[in-house]
Amino acid sequence: MDISVIIPVYNEEKNIAPLYSDVKKVLDGLNRSYEIIFTNDGSTDGTLEELKKIRSSGNTIKIIDFNKNFGQTPAIMAGFDHAVGDIIIAMDGDMQNDPADIPALIDGLNSGFDLVSGWRKKRKDSFLLRTLPSKIANSLISTVLKTPLHDYGCTLKAYRRNVIKDMRLYGEMHRFIPAIAAWQGAKITEIEVNHRARKFGKTKYGLGRALNVILDLLLIAFLSGYSTKPIRFFGKLSITTSTLGLITFLITAYMKINSGVDMTGNPLLILSVLFFLVSIQLISMGFLGEINIRTYYESQDKKTYYVREVIN
């Protein structure tokens, strides 16, 4: 199989037929073998029935039907797990991503890149509720993760199979796939894609996801730098707090010697003890983290490196 297209859908019954028609038309024009995978993320309307209608008419599509609504990241992950194509393309099911951009994404992969991410430069969404928060979030993510992209939130992306074959996604981490891939050594680029106004249904995502995105961002930032060496993260914090504890203790001693201030009644003494205790806790967490990391990798025979190719 050359191409797998993954489309997560949730309550998009009116978009299913026209979206499938658009995607199929583009893929047929490529003259390459393909499959279209719809992940029904626990829809409560007629989405599943529409998908079954398309499949019963002789069209070869895969339908992954969730028991309930698990979210966009699990829906995309399920598509990854069931895809067999050498090139894997993910896109939204609301028809705002334009299937006509698929050839350009594939051309990007053929140019030597491992991941091509879409950039909705001219978004057809509310500026205050969607576009502006997205710009702020993308700037923050690019700064923290040091993988500069204009549009992390665009689902329309093309991947080489080896980029995502061992990738596991949790929370709402689908938007961070480019950063995870870059951490693994993948070559990434970004191209402008068309963004269409929504015709049917309403968006399922709003500002309520902002807190979850921030928490996932902190987790990804930690994993990208310290997933195989947690002692360095906790050790740095431990050294910082122990240094602060030493400084506050010396100030307390200085106040006792030079000004006769009672040490036992000086709040700085309590603060220095607190710093030292926190320092011990942090270094202990670092040691426990190192033990857990070794257990995690060695028990599953996982590697701490990623191989692009072996040339014999």
Tell me if 309 is assigned to some domain: no
Of 193, 226, 259, which one is at a domain's C-terminal end? 226
Do 195 and 261 lie in one domain? The reply is no
CATH number of the domain residue 102 falls in = 3.90.550.10
Tell me if 187 is assigned to some domain: yes
CA atoms within 13 A on the CB side of 67: 0
Do 237 and 201 lie in one domain? The reply is no
Number of compact structural domains in the chain: 2
Q: What is the pLDDT of residues 163-191, one digit of tens each?
A: 988 788 887 788 889 988 888 889 999 99
Tell me if 306 is assigned to some domain: no
Residue 130: what pLDDT?
Answer: 66
Do 235 and 222 lie in one domain? The reply is no
Do 202 and 265 lie in one domain? The reply is no
Tell me if 308 is assigned to some domain: no
Do 202 and 253 lie in one domain? The reply is no
Do 243 and 171 lie in one domain? The reply is no
Nearest Cα to Cα of residue 101 among 196, 239, 172, 18 = 196
In the chain, the amino acid numbered 55 is R
Q: What is the pLDDT of residues 77-119, one digit of tens each?
A: 999 999 999 999 999 998 999 999 999 999 999 999 999 999 9
Do 17 and 112 lie in one domain? The reply is yes
What's the CA gap between 246 and 36, in Å, rounded? 62
Do 146 and 50 lie in one domain? The reply is yes
What's the CA gap between 289 and 230, in Å, rounded? 6
Q: What is the pTM of this model?
A: 0.78
- Quote the domain boundaries for residue 287: 230-299
